[in-house]
A and B are shown apart, each in its own frame.
Chain A
Amino acid sequence: AQSVTQPDIHITVSEGASLELRCNYSYGATPYLFWYVQSPGQGLQLLLKYFSGDTLVQGIKGFEAEFKRSQSSFNLRKPSVHWSDAAEYFCAVGLPNFGNEKLTFGTGTRLTIIP
């Protein structure tokens, strides 16, 4: 069965430091891959997506993610975090099959930024 794993429940980073959030998936073929962000008390917002092609994708708010087929990973990165990046981040996987479009979400990684 398709699954997505975010091994880090909570990460704390100093403002201005770099960030990497991990995401691994388990699926027979390459699925569609997504990162969503949830600010406190808010709904989720799409940060970036990967369907095919260039394995390094750029998103909003200065985030990027790299798809590594050999590692079944889609890690999210940001070179320098800002206090406003404190939020919960969800990796999600979608089946590339028309007629069965359902997102499977990871359990999330909560990001805390310290001054």
Chain B
Amino acid sequence: NAGVTQTPKFQVLKTGQSMTLQCAQDMNHEYMSWYRQDPGMGLRLIHYSVGAGITDQGEVPNGYNVSRSTTEDFPLRLLSAAPSQTSVYFCASSPNRGAVYEQYFGPGTRLTVT
């Protein structure tokens, strides 16, 4: 199994541009989530999904959209990038709601917005 994969690894955007961060898992996990990691702030939950077709907001959802059309994929869309969205983004998955805290993380995407 490849586990949780994320693309791209690095990205530089200009203010106002849009882009999609890709996340895929091959473990048939029901639960997927997106976090951002900023220095001194730990990880903060952006959006999560408990299954295909179901998404919900986390702690810091503004400026981001998600969809979950398949079990495997959970892309994160930045609608109009802002410098405040410069961060490292992690996607994570869990087998099911009963094990939602036992999360498997991808390697991350480092995003810089200029």
Contacts and interface: CB of A to CB of B under 8 A. Distances in A.
Contacts of B108: 41-43
Interface in B66-114: 90, 92, 97, 100-103, 105-108
Interface residues of A, number: 21
B19 interface: no
B69 to A, nearest CB: 22
Interface residues of B, number: 22
A103 B44 CA distance: 9
Contacts of B90: 43-44
A45 B40 contact: no
B41 A98 contact: no
B13 interface: no
Interface string A7-49: 0010000000000000000000000101000000111111001
A43 B4 contact: yes
Interface of B: 4, 31, 40-45, 48, 58-59, 90, 92, 97, 100-103, 105-108
20 contacts: A42-B107, A42-B108, A43-B107, A43-B108, A44-B103, A44-B105, A45-B105, A46-B103, A49-B101, A49-B102, A90-B42, A94-B101, A101-B31, A101-B97, A101-B101, A105-B43, A106-B42, A107-B40, A107-B41, A107-B42
